[in-house]
Amino acid sequence: MAGSDHGSGSGVPDEQEARCRQREVNMKLKYTSLAILVIQNASLILSIRYVRTLPGDRFFTTSAVVMAEVLKVLTCLIIIFVQKRGNLRDFLTLLYNSIVVQHSDTLKLAVPSLIYTLQNNLQYVAISNLPAATFQVTYQLKILTTALFSVLMLRKSLSRVQWVSLLLLFAGVAIVQVQQEGGRQKEATATDSNQNYAKGLVAVVVSCLSSGFAGVYFEKILKGSSASVWMRNVQLGIFGTLLGLLGLWWNDGPAISEKGFLFGYTPMVWGVIFNQAFGGLLVAVVVKYADNILKGFATSFSIIVSTVTSVYLFGFHVDLVFTVGAGMVIGAVYMYSLPKPASAPAAPLSSDSHSRSHGGDSEMEAFLPKSVMVK
């Protein structure tokens, strides 16, 4: 008995030490996740803005969307193949069963895939016509649209703090837009004459609406699904590629036939495409180590990074009105990410926060290809 007590006692320090080491590892992973989320979120917006304002031949954004989808599908297929230990037969059997045999399940992804394809194209339009910082601030309206669609479609509840944060978010975005409309802020680039602010604003608003609806719809139809995150990305990517090709033919078909699919592609453009293709998958992997507060902080910090960088890269002018509006949005994003009081049912509304609050839906994060944002 004494021996067993002694053995039990000697195991306690080891267990405590293991817990301490695990906490240290988790802390490092959280801060690493924060850095990756901020860098990926800000870099894609800034790089798209940069390549779309450079003089010379412009690449076709529709071809960039298709290329990103193709790269994402190929990456996920490679990951699945590795998971099957290189067994080609098992790999092909899994693909056949998941995509063809369970065709009804696959077809459910057609709607969100269509919306995501539209959203990816609209983001290029928006960033091409809006300053990067303005786009970053305005695009946070996706939090508002996701919340509203969740309340309407999933009957979820919001805490008082979240309702206040949504009002603050809307007010902050409105202030930024009023300030822009007043003409007190201009981006000093050689291509200002080719930019249409109204067109960019409509594109970002529609993109926010599509982001909110697609995320909630996707959550509703796939909740409880047993398919792996990589297989879901393959299914989404297949539809995304086909729909992207349709949009390419409709919008730029004659021009691409004349100039080629890769017309205007430079190393920087390839960098944007790789960031868009792999950024969402990368965020999906690291985001499991970051809680909602950390993700909200990452979104807020990426707005600051985009604004400061835009000042140096694009001659972006930051005045008091923009600072107030952006500050309200940053505060709203952080407030919305705060956990609900213990007495309230834990039902986070954004596709990001929901992915960790439900164990079965923890992979939801990787479905959302809008790597432009902290998802």
Side-chain half-sphere exposure of 79, counting CA atoms within 13 A: 17
pLDDT value of residue 242: 92
Distance between CA atoms of 300 and 172, rounded to whole angstroms? 13
Angle between helices 110-129 and 197-222 (to 10 degrees): 160
Nearest Cα to Cα of residue 79 among 349, 258, 326, 278:
278
Shortest CA distance to 354 belongs to which of 342, 341, 340?
A: 340
* pLDDT score recorded for residue 248: 92
Show pLDDT as tens, one digit a residue, over the chain (375 residues): 444 455 445 556 677 777 787 777 767 777 777 777 788 778 888 888 888 888 878 899 999 999 999 999 999 999 999 988 888 898 999 899 888 888 887 888 888 888 888 888 898 889 888 888 888 888 888 888 888 888 888 788 888 888 888 898 888 888 887 766 555 444 444 445 567 888 888 999 999 898 888 878 877 766 656 667 788 888 888 998 999 999 899 989 899 999 999 998 999 999 999 988 887 676 666 656 665 556 666 777 788 888 888 888 777 777 888 888 888 888 888 788 777 665 444 444 443 434 333 433 444 443 344 433 333
DSSP letter (8 states) at residue 344? S
Q: So what's the pLDDT on residue 284?
A: 60
Q: Residue 78 has what pLDDT?
A: 92
Query: Under 8 Å CB-to-CB from 249, ≥6 apart: which residues?
Result: none
Cα–Cα distance for residue pair 161/166, rounded to 1 Å: 9
pLDDT for residue 62: 92
Number of H helices, E strands in the chain: 14, 0
User: Which residue type does 197 have?
Assistant: Y
Tell me how far apart the alpha carbons of residues 49 and 58 are, in angstroms, rounded to a whole number.
12
Q: Which amino acid is at 172?
A: G
* Contacts for 97 with CB less than 8 Å, ≥ 6 apart: none
pLDDT at 365: 40
Q: Which two tokens stand for residue 240?
A: 């995304």
In b/e form, how buried is each residue of 48-85, taking b as 16+ CB within 10 angstroms? Answer: bbbbbbeeeebbbbbbbbbbbbbbbbebbbebbbeeee
Q: How far apart are CA 34 and CA 50, in angstroms?
A: 24
Q: Against a cut of 0.95, is the pTM above it?
A: no
As a whole number of angstroms, the distance between CA 219 and CA 229 comes to 13
How many Å apart are CA 175 and CA 164, to the nearest integer? 16
CB 126 within 8 A of CB 135: yes
What amino acid occupies position 194?
N
